[in-house]
Structure 1
Amino acid sequence: MAEENGASKQESPSLSILTQYIKDLSFENPGAPASLQKRDGQPEISINVNVNANPIGEDTYDVTLSLKAEGKSGEKSLFLCELVYGGVFRVANFPKEHMLPMLFIECPRLLFPFARQIVADATRNGGFPPLLVDPIDFAQMFQKRMAEEQARSKVQQTTN
Protein backbone atom coordinates (compact mmCIF):
# COMPACT_ATOMS: atom_id res chain seq x y z
CA MET A 1 0.00 0.00 0.00
CA ALA A 2 2.94 2.33 0.49
CA GLU A 3 3.46 2.41 -3.27
CA GLU A 4 0.04 3.98 -3.82
CA ASN A 5 1.12 7.31 -2.34
CA GLY A 6 2.19 8.35 -5.85
CA ALA A 7 5.94 8.25 -5.21
CA SER A 8 6.58 5.10 -7.21
CA LYS A 9 3.25 4.55 -8.95
CA GLN A 10 3.66 4.68 -12.73
CA GLU A 11 0.77 6.12 -14.71
CA SER A 12 -0.46 3.67 -17.33
CA PRO A 13 -0.07 4.57 -21.01
CA SER A 14 -3.14 6.03 -22.68
CA LEU A 15 -4.17 7.03 -26.19
CA SER A 16 -7.31 9.08 -26.67
CA ILE A 17 -8.87 11.03 -29.52
CA LEU A 18 -9.73 14.55 -28.43
CA THR A 19 -11.28 15.61 -31.75
CA GLN A 20 -11.47 14.64 -35.42
CA TYR A 21 -11.89 16.97 -38.38
CA ILE A 22 -11.78 17.42 -42.15
CA LYS A 23 -8.87 19.73 -42.90
CA ASP A 24 -9.27 19.65 -46.69
CA LEU A 25 -11.71 17.90 -49.02
CA SER A 26 -11.78 18.26 -52.78
CA PHE A 27 -13.71 16.34 -55.41
CA GLU A 28 -13.26 17.03 -59.10
CA ASN A 29 -15.38 15.56 -61.87
CA PRO A 30 -13.86 17.35 -64.89
CA GLY A 31 -15.72 15.47 -67.63
CA ALA A 32 -19.22 15.59 -66.12
CA PRO A 33 -21.79 14.81 -67.31
CA ALA A 34 -20.12 12.77 -70.10
CA SER A 35 -17.89 10.99 -67.57
CA LEU A 36 -20.99 9.61 -65.82
CA GLN A 37 -22.28 7.73 -68.86
CA LYS A 38 -21.93 3.97 -69.13
CA ARG A 39 -18.49 2.92 -70.34
CA ASP A 40 -16.80 -0.34 -71.22
CA GLY A 41 -14.64 -1.78 -68.48
CA GLN A 42 -13.68 -0.56 -65.05
CA PRO A 43 -11.79 2.69 -64.53
CA GLU A 44 -8.21 2.56 -63.31
CA ILE A 45 -8.10 3.71 -59.70
CA SER A 46 -4.90 4.93 -58.05
CA ILE A 47 -4.74 5.77 -54.36
CA ASN A 48 -1.94 7.56 -52.51
CA VAL A 49 -1.78 7.69 -48.73
CA ASN A 50 0.35 9.81 -46.43
CA VAL A 51 0.49 10.33 -42.66
CA ASN A 52 1.90 13.31 -40.77
CA ALA A 53 2.08 14.05 -37.06
CA ASN A 54 2.98 17.25 -35.22
CA PRO A 55 3.09 18.05 -31.51
CA ILE A 56 0.65 20.78 -30.47
CA GLY A 57 1.04 20.60 -26.71
CA GLU A 58 2.33 18.42 -23.92
CA ASP A 59 1.25 14.85 -24.78
CA THR A 60 -1.03 16.25 -27.54
CA TYR A 61 -0.48 15.64 -31.25
CA ASP A 62 -2.18 16.58 -34.49
CA VAL A 63 -2.16 13.56 -36.81
CA THR A 64 -3.32 13.92 -40.41
CA LEU A 65 -4.19 11.17 -42.85
CA SER A 66 -4.06 12.26 -46.50
CA LEU A 67 -5.85 10.21 -49.15
CA LYS A 68 -5.71 11.01 -52.86
CA ALA A 69 -7.84 8.85 -55.14
CA GLU A 70 -7.92 9.25 -58.90
CA GLY A 71 -10.11 7.42 -61.40
CA LYS A 72 -9.06 7.29 -65.05
CA SER A 73 -10.37 5.74 -68.21
CA GLY A 74 -7.32 5.47 -70.44
CA GLU A 75 -5.67 8.89 -70.28
CA LYS A 76 -8.94 10.65 -69.44
CA SER A 77 -9.46 11.68 -65.81
CA LEU A 78 -12.89 10.67 -64.51
CA PHE A 79 -12.53 11.98 -60.97
CA LEU A 80 -10.03 13.18 -58.40
CA CYS A 81 -10.81 13.03 -54.68
CA GLU A 82 -8.39 14.50 -52.16
CA LEU A 83 -8.94 14.35 -48.42
CA VAL A 84 -6.84 15.46 -45.48
CA TYR A 85 -8.51 14.08 -42.37
CA GLY A 86 -7.08 14.90 -38.98
CA GLY A 87 -7.34 14.03 -35.36
CA VAL A 88 -6.00 15.55 -32.20
CA PHE A 89 -4.70 12.79 -29.93
CA ARG A 90 -3.52 12.72 -26.37
CA VAL A 91 -0.69 10.20 -26.17
CA ALA A 92 0.45 9.95 -22.57
CA ASN A 93 2.91 7.86 -20.58
CA PHE A 94 4.32 5.80 -23.44
CA PRO A 95 8.05 5.04 -23.54
CA LYS A 96 9.84 7.33 -25.99
CA GLU A 97 10.63 4.45 -28.35
CA HIS A 98 6.89 3.74 -28.73
CA MET A 99 5.84 7.29 -29.62
CA LEU A 100 6.52 7.20 -33.36
CA PRO A 101 4.69 3.88 -33.86
CA MET A 102 1.75 5.25 -31.85
CA LEU A 103 1.60 8.42 -33.98
CA PHE A 104 2.22 6.85 -37.38
CA ILE A 105 0.48 3.46 -36.98
CA GLU A 106 -2.16 3.51 -34.25
CA CYS A 107 -3.48 7.07 -34.70
CA PRO A 108 -4.05 6.79 -38.48
CA ARG A 109 -5.53 3.31 -37.96
CA LEU A 110 -8.17 4.96 -35.75
CA LEU A 111 -8.80 7.75 -38.29
CA PHE A 112 -8.97 5.50 -41.36
CA PRO A 113 -12.58 4.22 -41.13
CA PHE A 114 -13.90 7.79 -40.97
CA ALA A 115 -11.70 8.97 -43.86
CA ARG A 116 -12.72 5.91 -45.89
CA GLN A 117 -16.40 6.77 -45.42
CA ILE A 118 -15.85 10.40 -46.46
CA VAL A 119 -14.12 9.29 -49.70
CA ALA A 120 -16.91 6.78 -50.40
CA ASP A 121 -19.57 9.46 -49.85
CA ALA A 122 -17.74 12.02 -52.00
CA THR A 123 -17.36 9.65 -54.97
CA ARG A 124 -20.99 8.52 -54.66
CA ASN A 125 -22.20 12.13 -54.43
CA GLY A 126 -20.04 12.91 -57.48
CA GLY A 127 -22.09 10.44 -59.54
CA PHE A 128 -19.81 7.39 -59.36
CA PRO A 129 -20.12 4.17 -57.39
CA PRO A 130 -18.76 4.69 -53.85
CA LEU A 131 -15.00 4.16 -53.74
CA LEU A 132 -14.29 1.87 -50.80
CA VAL A 133 -10.58 2.21 -50.07
CA ASP A 134 -9.03 -1.12 -49.08
CA PRO A 135 -7.66 -1.36 -45.52
CA ILE A 136 -4.17 0.10 -45.21
CA ASP A 137 -1.25 -1.56 -43.43
CA PHE A 138 0.04 1.47 -41.52
CA ALA A 139 2.75 -0.63 -39.84
CA GLN A 140 4.22 -1.51 -43.24
CA MET A 141 3.97 2.15 -44.34
CA PHE A 142 5.79 3.21 -41.17
CA GLN A 143 8.56 0.63 -41.61
CA LYS A 144 9.07 1.71 -45.23
CA ARG A 145 9.19 5.38 -44.21
CA MET A 146 11.74 4.67 -41.47
CA ALA A 147 13.92 2.68 -43.89
CA GLU A 148 13.78 5.53 -46.44
CA GLU A 149 14.74 8.10 -43.79
CA GLN A 150 17.64 5.94 -42.59
CA ALA A 151 18.89 5.54 -46.18
CA ARG A 152 18.55 9.29 -46.76
CA SER A 153 20.52 10.11 -43.61
CA LYS A 154 23.28 7.69 -44.64
CA VAL A 155 23.50 9.38 -48.05
CA GLN A 156 23.69 12.79 -46.38
CA GLN A 157 26.44 11.58 -44.02
CA THR A 158 28.55 10.28 -46.90
CA THR A 159 28.15 13.46 -48.97
CA ASN A 160 29.14 15.78 -46.07
Structure 2
Amino acid sequence: MAEEEEKAAEQPKQPQMRVLGQFIRDMSFENIVAQKGGSPDMQPDVQVQVNLDAKKRGADNQFEASIKLNVTSKDKESETVLFVLEIDYVGVFFIDGVPEDQLHPFLLIECPRMIFPFLRRVVSDITRDGGFPPMNLENIDFVALYRNEIARRKQDGQKLDA
Protein backbone atom coordinates (compact mmCIF):
# COMPACT_ATOMS: atom_id res chain seq x y z
CA MET A 1 0.00 0.00 0.00
CA ALA A 2 2.82 2.43 0.87
CA GLU A 3 4.45 1.57 -2.45
CA GLU A 4 1.31 2.65 -4.36
CA GLU A 5 1.20 5.94 -2.45
CA GLU A 6 4.85 6.60 -3.33
CA LYS A 7 4.18 5.96 -7.01
CA ALA A 8 1.19 8.29 -6.90
CA ALA A 9 3.30 10.99 -5.25
CA GLU A 10 6.00 10.62 -7.93
CA GLN A 11 3.56 11.09 -10.82
CA PRO A 12 2.98 14.70 -11.84
CA LYS A 13 -0.42 16.16 -11.02
CA GLN A 14 -2.88 16.24 -13.88
CA PRO A 15 -3.50 19.81 -15.05
CA GLN A 16 -6.84 21.20 -13.94
CA MET A 17 -8.66 24.20 -15.31
CA ARG A 18 -12.06 25.62 -14.46
CA VAL A 19 -13.71 28.76 -15.78
CA LEU A 20 -14.77 30.67 -12.67
CA GLY A 21 -16.38 33.52 -14.57
CA GLN A 22 -16.26 35.68 -17.66
CA PHE A 23 -17.19 39.26 -18.34
CA ILE A 24 -16.83 42.26 -20.65
CA ARG A 25 -14.25 44.58 -19.10
CA ASP A 26 -14.64 47.28 -21.72
CA MET A 27 -16.67 47.69 -24.90
CA SER A 28 -17.36 50.36 -27.48
CA PHE A 29 -19.51 50.08 -30.59
CA GLU A 30 -19.74 53.04 -32.93
CA ASN A 31 -22.22 52.87 -35.79
CA ILE A 32 -20.59 55.50 -38.03
CA VAL A 33 -23.14 55.02 -40.83
CA ALA A 34 -26.04 55.89 -38.51
CA GLN A 35 -24.17 58.89 -37.08
CA LYS A 36 -23.59 60.31 -40.56
CA GLY A 37 -27.06 59.42 -41.81
CA GLY A 38 -25.82 57.00 -44.46
CA SER A 39 -27.22 53.71 -45.66
CA PRO A 40 -25.82 50.43 -44.34
CA ASP A 41 -26.39 48.85 -47.80
CA MET A 42 -22.68 48.80 -48.64
CA GLN A 43 -20.18 46.03 -49.28
CA PRO A 44 -18.30 45.65 -45.99
CA ASP A 45 -14.59 44.94 -45.69
CA VAL A 46 -13.98 43.84 -42.10
CA GLN A 47 -10.59 44.01 -40.39
CA VAL A 48 -10.12 42.27 -37.03
CA GLN A 49 -7.14 42.82 -34.75
CA VAL A 50 -6.66 40.46 -31.81
CA ASN A 51 -4.56 40.98 -28.69
CA LEU A 52 -4.23 38.58 -25.80
CA ASP A 53 -3.29 39.28 -22.20
CA ALA A 54 -3.09 37.25 -19.01
CA LYS A 55 -2.23 37.85 -15.38
CA LYS A 56 -2.32 36.23 -11.98
CA ARG A 57 -5.10 37.25 -9.62
CA GLY A 58 -4.83 37.68 -5.85
CA ALA A 59 -6.23 34.26 -4.94
CA ASP A 60 -4.15 31.09 -5.21
CA ASN A 61 -4.27 29.39 -8.62
CA GLN A 62 -6.53 32.07 -10.10
CA PHE A 63 -5.69 33.80 -13.35
CA GLU A 64 -7.28 36.19 -15.83
CA ALA A 65 -7.00 35.83 -19.57
CA SER A 66 -8.41 38.44 -21.92
CA ILE A 67 -9.11 38.69 -25.61
CA LYS A 68 -9.10 42.23 -26.94
CA LEU A 69 -10.69 42.74 -30.33
CA ASN A 70 -10.61 45.81 -32.51
CA VAL A 71 -13.02 45.38 -35.43
CA THR A 72 -13.30 47.97 -38.19
CA SER A 73 -15.78 47.60 -41.04
CA LYS A 74 -15.34 49.78 -44.13
CA ASP A 75 -17.17 49.95 -47.43
CA LYS A 76 -15.05 48.19 -50.09
CA GLU A 77 -15.64 50.86 -52.73
CA SER A 78 -15.61 54.17 -50.86
CA GLU A 79 -13.46 53.15 -47.84
CA THR A 80 -16.16 54.79 -45.67
CA VAL A 81 -16.08 53.42 -42.12
CA LEU A 82 -19.34 51.61 -41.34
CA PHE A 83 -18.72 50.64 -37.73
CA VAL A 84 -15.97 50.22 -35.16
CA LEU A 85 -16.17 47.67 -32.34
CA GLU A 86 -13.65 47.46 -29.52
CA ILE A 87 -14.13 44.83 -26.84
CA ASP A 88 -12.04 43.45 -23.98
CA TYR A 89 -13.50 40.06 -22.98
CA VAL A 90 -12.08 38.41 -19.85
CA GLY A 91 -12.19 34.92 -18.40
CA VAL A 92 -11.30 34.13 -14.79
CA PHE A 93 -9.75 30.69 -14.37
CA PHE A 94 -8.70 28.29 -11.64
CA ILE A 95 -5.58 26.53 -12.88
CA ASP A 96 -3.65 23.86 -10.99
CA GLY A 97 -1.05 21.27 -11.94
CA VAL A 98 0.40 23.17 -14.90
CA PRO A 99 4.21 23.31 -14.71
CA GLU A 100 5.59 26.84 -14.31
CA ASP A 101 7.41 26.73 -17.67
CA GLN A 102 4.14 25.85 -19.44
CA LEU A 103 1.89 28.33 -17.63
CA HIS A 104 2.51 31.29 -19.96
CA PRO A 105 1.48 29.45 -23.16
CA PHE A 106 -1.39 27.77 -21.29
CA LEU A 107 -2.78 31.17 -20.23
CA LEU A 108 -2.47 32.67 -23.72
CA ILE A 109 -3.61 29.67 -25.75
CA GLU A 110 -5.90 27.35 -23.78
CA CYS A 111 -7.71 29.99 -21.72
CA PRO A 112 -8.65 32.19 -24.70
CA ARG A 113 -9.71 29.06 -26.57
CA MET A 114 -12.19 28.30 -23.76
CA ILE A 115 -13.86 31.74 -23.75
CA PHE A 116 -13.75 32.46 -27.49
CA PRO A 117 -17.16 30.90 -28.32
CA PHE A 118 -18.80 33.25 -25.81
CA LEU A 119 -16.99 36.27 -27.24
CA ARG A 120 -18.08 35.21 -30.74
CA ARG A 121 -21.71 35.24 -29.58
CA VAL A 122 -21.36 38.69 -27.99
CA VAL A 123 -19.82 40.14 -31.17
CA SER A 124 -22.61 38.62 -33.27
CA ASP A 125 -25.28 40.12 -31.02
CA ILE A 126 -23.64 43.56 -30.87
CA THR A 127 -23.30 43.89 -34.64
CA ARG A 128 -26.85 42.63 -35.22
CA ASP A 129 -28.28 44.96 -32.57
CA GLY A 130 -26.25 47.80 -34.12
CA GLY A 131 -28.15 47.45 -37.40
CA PHE A 132 -25.72 45.27 -39.37
CA PRO A 133 -25.78 41.60 -40.32
CA PRO A 134 -24.56 39.50 -37.36
CA MET A 135 -20.80 39.18 -37.59
CA ASN A 136 -19.63 35.61 -37.10
CA LEU A 137 -15.95 35.70 -36.11
CA GLU A 138 -13.85 33.04 -37.78
CA ASN A 139 -11.91 30.69 -35.55
CA ILE A 140 -8.71 32.18 -34.20
CA ASP A 141 -5.50 30.16 -34.20
CA PHE A 142 -4.31 31.02 -30.68
CA VAL A 143 -1.16 28.91 -31.10
CA ALA A 144 -0.09 30.96 -34.14
CA LEU A 145 -0.94 34.21 -32.33
CA TYR A 146 1.16 33.11 -29.36
CA ARG A 147 4.13 32.13 -31.54
CA ASN A 148 3.97 35.43 -33.44
CA GLU A 149 3.90 37.41 -30.18
CA ILE A 150 6.86 35.45 -28.77
CA ALA A 151 8.84 36.09 -31.96
CA ARG A 152 7.94 39.80 -31.86
CA ARG A 153 8.96 40.13 -28.21
CA LYS A 154 12.27 38.34 -28.79
CA GLN A 155 12.99 40.66 -31.70
CA ASP A 156 12.15 43.70 -29.53
CA GLY A 157 14.16 42.34 -26.59
CA GLN A 158 11.12 42.22 -24.27
CA LYS A 159 10.79 39.66 -21.53
CA LEU A 160 7.93 37.19 -21.31
CA ASP A 161 5.68 37.17 -18.30
CA ALA A 162 2.11 36.24 -17.55
Would the TM-score normalized by the shorter structure come out above 0.5?
yes
- 1:26 is matched with which residue? 28
- Equivalent position to 2:86, from 82, 85, 99: 82
TM-score (norm 1): 0.86
Cα separation, 1, equivalents of 2:40 and 2:92: 41
Number of residue pairs aligned between Structure 1 and Structure 2: 153
Deviations 1:27-51 (A, max 9, x none): 1112217444423xx2111001111
Change (3 A) 1:148 1:38: closer
Q: Which runs of 5+ in 1 are unaligned?
A: none
CA distance in 2 between partners of 1:37 and 1:144 (Å): 35
Query: Partners of 1:7 and 1:110 in 2: how far apart?
Result: 30
2:64 pairs with 1:62: yes
Answer whether contact 1:65 1:85 (CA < 8 A) is retained.
Answer: yes
The residue type paired with residue 38 of structure 1 is D
Does structure 1 retain, via aligned residues, the 8 Å contact 2:33–2:40?
no
Structure-2 change in CA distance of 1:132 and 1:35 (3 Å)? farther
Distance 1:82 1:103 in 2: 22
In the TM superposition, 1:148-159 aligns within 5 A as 148-153=152-157
CA RMSD of aligned residues (A): 2.1
Between 1:126-135 and 1:67-76, the stretch displaced more is: 67-76
Q: Is the 8 A contact 1:54 1:61 kept in 2?
A: yes
Report percent identity of matched pairs: 36
Q: TM-score, normalised by structure 2?
A: 0.85
Corresponding residue of 1:96: 100
